[in-house]
Chain A
């Protein structure tokens, strides 16, 4: 099964409701001779986007971009606008290549699926011929290290771990040193979940970044923020805070196999120019796939 089909299957539940409502809108809009939207249709489109967690501001941008008509039907115009937003974001943060080992920090609030994402990412990379190492720097949550150990075992990759309650920054330092010695690449660092409002914990993250840079110049090369697809407008706040403190370079959108649409990713792409790198679409070890904007937008608006 191709990536497109997998994503579509994951999103199929999402799609069903969105499509029936969208189809109605499209008919109304395309009936108009010039394709322009009347106030009612524009409002319904806005509400539909808000219901997908795209948020008021980004929804208005989309509606304004398509309301006066233009080439193609409403469906194509909306898709084009969304794609444009994703493209701008992708251009702002191209993937990092070059340094070896690449140090990747995985951050986010509690319960979004950081450890699971890291496990899946390690497995994917291993399967494609890399020799990743995982670093268990979540020394706070009960049994977080054990959870990552199980994933590392499943994926068959190296793991550097520390005792519960140890300083996470020192674990990162150890991982980078040992990863370089063993020739592992990339080094994936799992961090403890932290609410972006906890000043002390955000400082801890800053310190981890600093210490990583001391172990290897330029590290961390990538910082992935994991977001739960069910998250609402707070997702944008999270992204902004983590961007400021940890220098996020990309988003991982997890739990897209539910009915939530992860529309906040659109708002983040629009507002902060942060691209989505991966999406999680299930609990299996291979259920993390690279984000494909065209497939995502298509899957969002087309019946499975």
Chain B
């Protein structure tokens, strides 16, 4: 997420750090690089200009030039100004208890409104809400069907009066339905439209009038360019927007449009979408994003994510086993499942400080397939073998390999690495567990050394210990 921008900014800072003293010329050179980085990240031209001017003012301050760690001051100036750009507000829906709360999704074609409607419904359901979904998109072929499928996937009720092709009455009917059946939230998906399409903007205004939404979420594609500010501004001016949902952040788009929309239109980012699964939606935290941009990692989000998917009982059980030195292949398979639930590995890596740049080392990229292979090998073992790996002799290895569709070498490698891991675990168990392992996450040997610091070489086999590229 935002990788390319953060990589560029980090290299600017690194070169600043090499210099002992800051001169106005040096600041100019750095600013030029920052300007380029921001422009290539699709930050609006005007926003970039104002941003650079403000950072320059602060960086060229007498005090800063005289100080001992000038580059730190510049980093701080950039960080503060970035935060100012993103807005200090935390994401989410607007505060309020109205029931049913009505959320209207709006935006251009293809920004991801329908998918986001489904994800938002799933997110709300997880918060203990009871959302009802309705599509008012009678234009795009099969849009209504798409929302119905998404609703089914997430086990969410979708209101669909068959044959009714009037967007306003579909929305109004859903509101009546929500009231009478006791749903506390109504999510209204709308057809994608251009902000200059007067007729469709009028239709949107009519839908708004009919359902009186408290939340109007503008769904924006993180890959958009310079035009984002204008289209978001038009939607805000004509209809009113309370928050932005930034989608497709799992790509390598630099998301500069996000910065610009917040600062120019003055609407906070409410949620970000970053994947194809229903649970790939998160609240937006400006401070975390800025930290991530500057390469400081986003451990908070990672911990939250881990808390969501990790079963507390399992974690306690594991801790106990570690203490008793009874960690088996069975436990290991359980852990693998937990890690998988965290989502795609490359997304997780981006949240670990210093790992942002390493993500690019393609050869080292942890492969979901490798994880699958390890799982397959373990599931091909008998329960006894899983509990006591020393049982596994040559002929058993052969059987396991053919059962899991792998080779004997794969099985050997897994066992060898498992023994190594047991050793590390034993050490950790004796010396008290670092926080990560207590949460049930297995990340030797990195977590043992204090969560992968920048510049630290990774051991062969990747941070996941067991994953080895073939």
Contact = CB atoms under 8 A, between A and B. Distances in A.
Contacts of B221: 111, 228, 230-231
Interface stretch (B60-68, B167-175, B247-255, B407-415): B247-255
A113 B110 contact: yes
Interface residues of B, number: 48
Contact of A200 (B149, B153, B368): B368
A258 B227 contact: yes
Given A56-B39, A233-B40, A255-B109, A146 B145 contact: yes
B231 interface: yes
Contacts of B149: 142-143
Contacts of A228: 110, 221, 223-224
B227 A261 contact: yes
B141 A150 contact: yes
B112 A110 contact: yes
A142 B224 CA distance: 23
A258 B257 contact: no
A143 B143 contact: yes
Interface residues of A, number: 48
Contacts of B139: 283
B112 A111 contact: yes
Nearest to B346: A197
A190 interface: no
Nearest to A236: B40
A147 B194 contact: no
A50 to B, nearest CB: 6
B298 interface: no
A230 B226 CA distance: 8
B196 A258 contact: yes
Contacts of A109: 223, 248, 251
Contacts of A264: 225
Nearest to A145: B142
B176 to A, nearest CB: 26
Given A258-B108, A261-B227, A234 B146 contact: no
B150 interface: yes
A112 interface: yes
B76 interface: no
Given A111-B111, A142-B146, A234 B252 contact: yes
22 contacts: A50-B39, A50-B45, A53-B225, A56-B36, A142-B149, A144-B142, A147-B143, A150-B141, A195-B248, A196-B251, A228-B221, A232-B223, A232-B256, A234-B252, A255-B110, A255-B194, A257-B194, A258-B196, A258-B227, A260-B224, A261-B227, A263-B225
Closest 8 CB pairs of A and B: A232-B225, A111-B110, A232-B42, A142-B149, A150-B141, A260-B227, A143-B146, A147-B142
Interface of B: 36, 39-42, 45, 108-112, 139-143, 145-146, 148-150, 153, 194-196, 221, 223-228, 230-231, 248, 250-254, 256-257, 276, 346, 365, 367-369
Interface of A: 13, 47, 50-53, 55-56, 109-113, 116, 140-144, 146-147, 149-151, 195-200, 228, 230-235, 237-238, 255, 257-261, 263-264, 283
